[in-house]
Amino acid sequence: MAAIRLSRTAWIAFVLLNALLLALIVFLLQFRGERAELAQLNELGAAVYPEPLPLAEVSLNDQTGRPFGLDRMRGAWNLVFFGFSNCPDMCPLTLSELGDFYRGRAESAQPPLNVLFVSVDPADSPGIIGEYLLGFHPDFIGLSGSAENVNAFASQLFVNTGAAESSIHGGHAPPAASPEGFISHSVHMGVINPSGELVGLLRPPHRAGDIARALAMIVRRA
């Protein structure tokens, strides 16, 4: 009986040891896969946070004048880009790439997505923004508001905004004939999940194919 008990003990220990080894192998494979995926995202210009960052309430208006807050972001993925209608280069280039990306994804079944363009120029009225965005895609949502509210939202997405005296405008040339100094802003995009949380950032240069691949990976990770 003692020999039988010893055999059973050894068998249980063997099973437990194998279970631990299997768990360790699975963990190492997942860790290696996670590192490879993060490296691929980085190559696409994307950075994701280990945990989503909750956002405070947003108080803006869309191009029709309707209030726009976090409630209108929830239930869909959101790509958020800050700029202004008189921006000479980076803003229209980025919006053009976003338009190509958006038209491409519309051809297949995809999770709901909002493309949000937030103006950092107090001179951009909802009507001006709406007309401006029609040149890129009619489904894009243009947002504006008081400088305080725009800056409050921008700061949550780590976007710098405001008048600047420098010769650098977020990586591109200043607009011509700007009596109060040109407008400076960051040119990365924020990625907000359907729960209204910031999950990552896309850095420039923005290209339609890279945006599509990065967003698909981010959505799969959610």
154 SS3 class: helix
Residue whose C-alpha is closest to residue 156's, from 44, 52, 42 = 52
pLDDT tens digits in sequence order for the chain, 222 residues long: 444 555 666 666 655 656 555 554 444 334 455 678 888 999 999 999 999 999 999 999 999 999 999 999 999 999 999 999 998 889 999 999 999 999 998 666 689 999 999 999 999 999 999 999 999 999 999 999 999 999 999 999 999 876 443 333 344 343 333 334 445 568 899 999 999 999 999 999 999 999 999 999 999 988
Q: On the CB side of 209, how many CA atoms lie within 13 Å of its CA?
A: 1
Q: What is the DSSP string of 9-39?
A: HHHHHHHHHHHHHHHHHHHHHHHHHHHHHHH
CATH architecture of 49-221: 3-Layer(aba) Sandwich (3.40)
For the entire predicted model, the pTM comes to 0.77
CB-count exposure of residue 94 (10 Å: 0-12, 13-18, 19+): buried
| Rounded Cα–Cα distance for residues 71 and 168 (Å) | 35
One-letter amino acid of 87: C
